[in-house]
Structure 1
Amino acid sequence: MAGQRDGLMKDPGTEGYRAGFAILVGRPNAGKSTLTNALLGQKVAITSNKPQTTRHTIRGILHRPDAQLVLVDTPGLHRPRTLLGQRLNDLVAATLSEVDAIGFCLPANEALGPGDRFIAQQLAMVGRKPIIAVVTKTDLVGREQLGEKLLAVAAMGQEVLGGEGFREIVPVSGKDGFQIRSLEDVLISYMPPSPPLYPEGELTDEPESVMVAELIREAALEGVRDELPHSLAVVVEEMLPREGRSEDNPLLDVRVHLFVERPSQKAIIIGKGGSRLKEVGTRARKGIEALLGTKVYLDLHVKVAKDWQRDPKQLGRLGF
């Protein structure tokens, strides 16, 4: 990241312009993906009420006349129980060292717990990065409960981070838009002077195949039992234009494998007579067509990869 910025520093005509990277961290299901989408005004990160939905560091790019903010939405930091969990934590740690500011997401509707303290301790070791506490999901609490939460967050910041604690504390709601633009201003204020890092209009630097896989995962996780989110991986095998279609009526063939760890999970994904897999395909296809701007034929196959979360070779094949 730094090298990319260094190579652009001599670009003329950018006086007063700021550009840089901000990471959103927090324990699983702290509202990071919803917040990312709200800041960008468009969907780039999948959202789910299931913990550990995010598997990749999706980068969303916010463009303003005076600034460019590259948002890094990460998997939730947690005490890992599997090799996959450890690799997701390692991914977050590596990203923390490369960004210009850190937004620590703490849901307003949940008490501070050991998980939050664990993350604060990890952030305290990062070095001299500005850490902004972002109190999310304020739409779920009343004014008194929010006030208590803000005081508790401030106290934890002083205790764990030392000194004055968090640089700033910003309550927001990604769902109803409360203080989203204020948070945008705060994050941009910590970005360094720099010309733009990405072309105007570019929304994310993630490959299309990764975005497609994430949309399918989101659709597959809708309404399923608790054990499935951690066991589901999605791999896009190919995305090819359908031969023989005219330029004004293109069709993209997308072939996808959904991997689970046990036959019982395969049965959950497929549903009776394939009904649930068909629903997943219909739901995902709408999002994929909106993302790619073209009609899509989605070919989904469910496979069992036994205990893949704990198998280094299988993790590598599945992109972790």
Structure 2
Amino acid sequence: MRISVIIPAFRAEGSIGAAVGSVLAQGREDVEVIVVDDASPDGTAEAARAAGASVLPGRVRVEVLPTGGGASRARTAGARLARGQILVFLDADDVQLPGFLDTVAATVTGEVEAVVVGRRVRTEGGTRTEASRRLGRMSGEEAARAVMREQITPFPWDKAFRRSLLRLDGPGTAEDLFPADVHRFEDLAGVLVLLSRARQVQVLDLPLIEYRVHAGSLTWGRVPTRRERDLALAHVRHGLDAELLAASRRDLATLHVLMTVLIAQSAALAGEGEESSAMLHACRADLRWRHLLATLAASPVTAAAAVLLRLSPRVFASIAQWRTRTRYR
């Protein structure tokens, strides 16, 4: 088995069939699909089994977790079951586009141990294509620092990893793939650490994933906590090589600022109640000017957003709401 596609799923009865079908429709015989149902109360598992049986019987494994633990634990559970030499994560409400698996198989060879692709973003208002701002081949350490600077996307679903990067077969444990009890920044933290282990990473602009944005998406549905941010940052610090960690202090400060801005953005999107206002002001208080100066050199856009939040949470919230309406809805 060359490639394992792991799909964590919760309340995905209406979308899991399309996700599974998009993998199987590419026609590769060396691919397995592992759907991990995170104790969904609906018919997610049955829909996944039906999608597999209708295309290629026996190629889809559905694992139902007895209790819900979130996407981090579902991805870890799927990784432990995977037999492939290349692992891919796909969200249950997104789809792979034709050519994704062939591109992955052709790219993850030799020194290249991870690949990042572009995406097609589908919203209620239409579609557009996007890609990471930094393209080409680079070392894993360079890729990790690029993630901290928002130059490479933080998502797991637009990437593929050689199995060895996940350390599933050695003395390490799959429990460390993504930080547990973190439901917004777990993907960024996990991806950053995995990329840092690669000898070489190839970043492409080919749009080979369709990311589907809807009102019920987790990104829009809840405000992450500052504790989740701190747990994600702790996962990064624990997972990075000591030498890279020492060389990345400015980038880690940038990452802290970025996560804080994202929390504030989610609070702004949640409305104008007392809880949202309190979170905005708490995030504002977390931003130190020395961190903003470090961020300015690494990621000017993030620094500008953070300075605006520091100076006027109200104006920051208004701009965040406007940007989301025009970009994602």
TM over 0.5: no
Task: For CA contacts below 8 A with separation 6 or more, give which structure has more relative contact order.
Answer: 1
- TM-score, normalising length: structure 2: 0.34
TM-score (ref. length: structure 1) = 0.34
Of structures 1 and 2, the larger Rg is shown by: 1
Q: Which has the higher helix share?
A: 2
